[in-house]
Structure 1
Amino acid sequence: MARIQQLGLVLVFLLVFTACGDKSDETLHNLYEEVVPIEVVIQMEPTVIQPGTESLLRAIVLQKDQAVEDASSVQFEVWKQGDPQHTWIDASHISDGHYEVTYTFTDEAMYYVMYHVDARGMHAMNKQKVPVGDIPDTSPEADRAETSQMNLNTP
């Protein structure tokens, strides 16, 4: 008889703990479903950049197609192809999720601009090539070299 009571007690404990486990798994699942990544659109004005001319670099930060007004950090990293020296510039919040900075590209060359955005517990970054002046596009090998060099030049 004691054995049946022990078995019954074990079954009760298993049912209680199993039921509690299902609820916490459901709660965790709901938390993960609600995480929506931030999106960043980069714009440059003018669209064709000449050396020595001031340019506007703009990051538009969105989440669920809504402007993100509370980014904790928006920076632009700018460098000339093949140059180990990278310039980091803090962007200012303007409005409607727009964060901007002005920059003057000094030489006729291929440059890279990478944005770094920290907002709502997430980090987004991406780079794009920016031809300054009348120069030909570069090879994929040069782009790979810039990517590996880029990882060594964090602030």
Structure 2
Amino acid sequence: MKIFLTLFFLTFATFFVTACSGELNKKIALSELVDVEIIIGEDVKLDEETVLNVKVTQGDEAVLDADQVEFEIWKTDRPEDRVFLEAIHVKDGIYSVTVLFKEEGVYIVQPHVTARGSHVMPKKEVIVGNVFEQGNHYNDDSKSEKHDH
């Protein structure tokens, strides 16, 4: 009987430790921050469709199940005219939207990504047209700015 109880206890203890460590590993994996990489072509042209992408990852894993991904876009000299565009998941954690810039200038593109308990809002400046030739001054300070919740 002692052998049976010892085997039962060892089996139960092994099961319990395995189950708990699996839960712990799952919590550690979920605690990794969600990362958002803005992907926009270098040459954004006036009056041509431009695809704006974000790649959403958590650790090495592509996030396919983001709760919401939308792009907030505004011209730097007219922040009151911001627009919000809902992005769609296209593949492998890449979410996309197509936009048509109707005026030359410097724009801020800020995706709002809500996924796995995080809200990530990086910013990137986008130059549309010949901004330098018009005497405008381009400020690249917010290019890599991120704001996480």
Alignment TM-score > 0.5, same fold: yes
Alignment of 1:1-150 (within 5 A): 33-34=28-29, 35-45=31-41, 47-83=42-78, 84-136=80-132, 137-139=137-139
What per-residue deviation string (whole Å, max 9, x for no partner) do you get for residues 98-123 of structure 1? 11000001111111100100000111
Structure (1/2) with the larger helix percentage: 1
1:105 partner amino acid: F
What per-residue deviation string (whole Å, max 9, x for no partner) do you get for residues 20-70 of structure 1? xxxxxxxxxx6975511001111114x201111100000110011211000
CA distance in 2, matches of 1:81, 1:59: 21
CA distance in 1, matches of 2:83, 2:122: 16
- Alpha-carbon offset, residue 73 of structure 1: 0.1
Unaligned runs of 5+ in 2: 1-23
CA distance in 2, matches of 1:93, 1:133: 28
Q: RMSD value over aligned CA atoms?
A: 2.3
Instruction: Report sequence identity in percent.
Output: 35
Unaligned runs of 5+ in 1: 1-29, 148-155
- Alpha-carbon offset, residue 139 of structure 1: 3.9
CA distance in 2, matches of 1:91, 1:67: 16
Q: TM-score, normalised by structure 2?
A: 0.69
CA distance in 2, matches of 1:139, 1:51: 20
